[in-house]
Amino acid sequence: MPNGEKKKKPNDIKDLRDPSALDVGPFGKANAFLDNFVSGWIYMTAIEELIAQEESIRKIIEEYKKMDNPEVQSLIAPLEAELEKVDEKWELACQMFGIDA
C-alpha cells in the first residue's frame, strides 16, 4: 500500500460490525443473544398490540350489531375495513417468522 494507507474492508466502509471478530471466548455469542432477545421482545410487543386492536374492533362491531340505530349500523363497514387492515398486519407478522397462517 502506498504511504502506509490501510485498505478499507467493506465493513469498515459501512460501519458494520464484523461478527467473527466478536464471537470469541466463552461470552462470544452474547451479542447474538442480545440481538435475538431484543428482536423477540419487539415481535412479542407487536403481536400483543395486534391482539388488543383485533379484540377491541371485534367487541365494538358486536355491540353495534345489537343496536337498532341506522346511524350506528353505518359505522360497521368502516370498522370491518379496519379489521381487514389488522388481518393484513397479521399476515405480515406471520411472514416475518415463516409461519403459515
pLDDT in tens, the chain (101 residues): 556 666 655 545 555 566 566 666 676 677 778 888 888 898 899 899 999 999 999 999 999 988 888 888 899 999 999 999 999 998 888 887 776 65
Q: What is the pTM of this model?
A: 0.62
Under 8 Å between Cβ of 89 and 79: no
pLDDT of residue 38: 87
Under 8 Å between Cβ of 26 and 19: no
Task: Map the chain to HEC letters.
Answer: CHHHCCCCCHHHHHCCCCHHHHCCCCCCCHHHHHHHHHHHHHHHHHHHHHHHHHHHHHHHHHHHHHCCCHHHHCCHHHHHHHHHHHHHHHHHHHHHCCCCC
Spans of all domains in the chain: 47-101
Tally of CA atoms within 13 A in the half-sphere of 5 that contains its CB: 6
pLDDT of residue 85: 94
pLDDT of residue 86: 93
